[in-house]
């Protein structure tokens, strides 16, 4: 049986006060829509239809940019006339999958989890349901639709404003997530009417229609109460961030990861962390980052889409779209820009920037150095203040530094240039020619000393200073 999902992502979210669709507002650095799609992929549902609306091109751009396991199509909801109306726009998608089950999710409810999706489907199929509503028990059900149960399953969903005193006491609430038998959904979807104050088509009416036709409707109570959470404004979005942040840190604590302090710590939904690793305060781990075993991720590190090996020590490091191998020590105040590859045993000191470069095994880059568009061999030593001059204002060129080279302090390597194996550069040199293996390169201009130059140059400045100083003394 073919299972698929429709994700409702057409909302504007006016109270967010943003020019992008609400579902593209971020929770821990990732759009809410990304969280929902990822949960579907991790549940094995790879046939996805996204219903877009407000600023639809931004949705298209987001989907085109993500590395998706799923086969994602989109449909347009020109007018936002309710959840039922949104699903109606996916009629052709439903017809193409009418022999299976369809999951309907809200793109602005990011904390849905794969386990809930899978377990709800199991109940749905086991009971032969036409619809299975995903629910949760919450302490404060205010504002949520209540689930009214019967001996056969559920008898309906009652919106908060329509609840009787008895129904207001119900703590099982609708999450807005549903499993439908697709053929049964198609049978009732276009029967729903906008008979409400908002003039909208509610998907919950499909549940009522199915029950009225004698079909089986049930509810799966998720063990994750956060599945009901969404955000309509910035305060709600901040709350979602806080909840997600706390839940993810809690998960890693259960896995044995040590957090010295959680102040300012944020770990993304797709991040992986190896056992024995220690996370300090202010650390932000985003995207598809992987941290190996027995690492120390020191204060204020930002690691994004980067793979970190085992036994790595980072201190005040920012790393983006890069690879760091085992036994590396970096920091403080180091930036690894995209496409940097730091090999085993490398040591990088303070105030170093590396961009689109490979740094070979056991190389040392002490401090105050820029390495860009370079291929550096093993056991190379960089003195203080080295710069690879990779850009001439028009094009960028690569520098090659072979094994065991020694780059003296304040060397400028003007690319394209090659430093041979075991070669040395003298401090203060600006290297513009290839250096043979085991050679010493000294490339400086001849020193020129002009006697008395400073006195002439500074005469006016000195006189001005003396006059101002004398005037201050006279006024005392």
pLDDT tens string 38-97:
999 999 999 999 999 999 999 999 999 988 888 999 999 999 899 999 999 999 999 999
Average pLDDT over residues 416-439: 97
Q: Which strands sit side by side in the sheet containing 387-389, from one edge to the other?
A: 266-267, 284-286, 302-304, 317-320, 334-336, 352-355, 369-372, 387-389, 412-414, 430-431
What span, in angstroms and rounded, lies between the C-alpha atoms of 454 and 443? Answer: 26
* DSSP, res 344: T
Tally Cβ neighbours within 10 Å of residue 342.
30
Question: According to the model, what pLDDT value does residue 262 have?
Answer: 94
Kindly indicate the confidence band of residue 1, based on its pLDDT and cuts at 50, 70 and 90: low
Which residues are part of the catalytic machinery? 367
Extract long-range pairs of 85-91: CB within 8 Å, 24+ residues apart. 85/200, 85/201, 86/8, 86/10, 86/51, 86/53, 86/203, 87/6, 87/8, 87/51, 87/185, 87/189, 87/203, 88/189, 88/190, 88/201, 89/51, 90/6, 90/49, 90/51, 91/186, 91/189
Question: According to the model, what pLDDT value does residue 452 have?
Answer: 81
What span, in angstroms and rounded, lies between the C-alpha atoms of 118 and 114? Answer: 6
On average, the pLDDT of the chain sits at 94
What span, in angstroms and rounded, lies between the C-alpha atoms of 43 and 174? Answer: 21
The third-level CATH classification (topology) of the domain covering 3-228 is Spore Coat Polysaccharide Biosynthesis Protein SpsA; Chain A (3.90.550)
Site of tokens 């309710």: 82
Residue ranges covered by each domain of the chain: 3-228, 255-441
Report whether pLDDT(136) > 90. Answer: yes
Tell me the DSSP string of 95-121.
HHTTTSEEEEEETT-TT--HHHHHHHH
What span, in angstroms and rounded, lies between the C-alpha atoms of 138 and 154? Answer: 18
Give the bridge partners for 208, in sequence order: none
Give tens-digit pLDDT for 237-262. 999 999 999 999 999 999 999 999 99
What span, in angstroms and rounded, lies between the C-alpha atoms of 91 and 94? Answer: 5
Q: Which strands sit side by side in the sheet containing 307-308, from one edge to the other?
A: 272-273, 290-291, 307-308, 323-324, 341-342, 358-359, 374-376, 399-401, 417-419
- CATH for 255-441? 2.160.10.10
- Exposure string (b/e) for 130-157, b if CB count within 10 Å is 16 or more? bbbbbbbebeebeebbbbbeeeebbebb
Kindly indicate the confidence band of residue 476, based on its pLDDT and cuts at 50, 70 and 90: low
Residue 28 contacts residue 269 (beta carbons within 8 Å): yes
The alpha carbon of residue 64 and the mean position of all alpha carbons in its chain are separated, in whole angstroms, by 16
Report whether pLDDT(429) > 90. Answer: yes
3-state secondary structure of 77: coil
Both structure tokens of 10: 């057409």
Report whether pLDDT(341) > 80. Answer: yes
Average pLDDT over residues 388-415: 96
**Which residues lie below 8 Å from residue 346, measured CB to CB, with a gap of 6+?**
325, 328, 329, 330, 359, 360, 361, 362, 363, 364, 365
Give tens-digit pLDDT for 273-288. 999 999 999 999 999 9
What span, in angstroms and rounded, lies between the C-alpha atoms of 426 and 409? Answer: 8
Site of tokens 């008395």: 452
């Amino acid at each position: 049986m073919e299972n698929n999902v429709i994700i409702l992502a057409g909302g504007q979210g006016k109270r967010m006060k943003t020019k992008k669709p609400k579902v593209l507002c971020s929770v821990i650095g990732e759009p809410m829509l990304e969280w929902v799609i990822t949960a579907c992929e991790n549940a094995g549902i790879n046939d996805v239809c996204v219903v877009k609306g407000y600023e639809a091109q931004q949705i298209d751009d987001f989907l085109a940019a993500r590395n998706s396991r799923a086969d994602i199509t989109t449909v347009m909801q020109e007018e936002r006339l309710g959840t039922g109306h949104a699903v109606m726009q996916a009629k052709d998608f439903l017809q193409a999958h009418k022999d299976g089950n369809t999951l309907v999710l809200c793109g602005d409810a990011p904390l849905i989890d794969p386990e809930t999706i899978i377990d709800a489907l199991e109940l749905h199929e086991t009971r032969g349901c036409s619809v299975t509503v995903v629910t949760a028990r919450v302490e404060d059900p205010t504002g949520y639709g209540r689930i009214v149960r019967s001996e056969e399953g559920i008898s309906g969903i009652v919106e908060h404003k329509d609840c009787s005193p008895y129904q207001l006491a119900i703590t099982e609430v609708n999450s807005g997530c549903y499993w439908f038998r697709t053929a049964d959904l198609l049978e009732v979807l276009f029967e729903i009417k906008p008979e409400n104050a908002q003039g909208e088509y509610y998907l919950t009416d499909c549940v009522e229609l199915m029950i009225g036709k004698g079909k089986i409707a049930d509810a799966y109570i998720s063990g994750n109460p956060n599945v009901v959470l969404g955000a309509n404004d910035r305060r709600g979005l901040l709350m979602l961030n806080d909840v997600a942040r706390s839940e993810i840190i809690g998960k890693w604590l259960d896995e044995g990861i040590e957090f010295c302090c959680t102040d300012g710590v944020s770990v993304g939904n797709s991040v992986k962390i190896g056992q024995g690793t220690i996370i300090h305060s202010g650390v932000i781990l985003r995207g598809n980052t992987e941290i190996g075993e027995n690492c120390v991720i020191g204060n204020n590190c930002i690691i994004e889409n980067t793979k970190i090996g085992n036994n790595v020590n980072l201190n005040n490091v920012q790393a983006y779209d890069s690879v760091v191998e085992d036994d590396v020590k970096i920091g403080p105040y180091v930036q690894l820009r995209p496409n940097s590859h730091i090999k085993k045993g490398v040591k990088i000191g303070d105030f170093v920037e590396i961009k689109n470069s490979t740094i070979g095994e056991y190389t040392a880059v002490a401090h105050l150095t820029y390495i860009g568009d370079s291929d550096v061999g093993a056991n190379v030593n960089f003195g203080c203040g080295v710069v690879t001059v990779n850009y001439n204002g028009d094009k960028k060129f690569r520098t090659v530094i072979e094994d065991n080279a020694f780059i003296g302090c304040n060397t400028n390597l003007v690319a394209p240039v090659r430093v041979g194996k075991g070669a040395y550069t003298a401090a203060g040199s600006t290297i513009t020619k290839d250096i043979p293996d085991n050679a010493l390169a000294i490339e400086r201009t001849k020193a020129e000393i002009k006697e008395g130059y400073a006195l002439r140059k500074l005469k006016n400045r000195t006189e001005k200073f003396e006059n101002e100083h004398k005037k201050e003394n006279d006024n005392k």
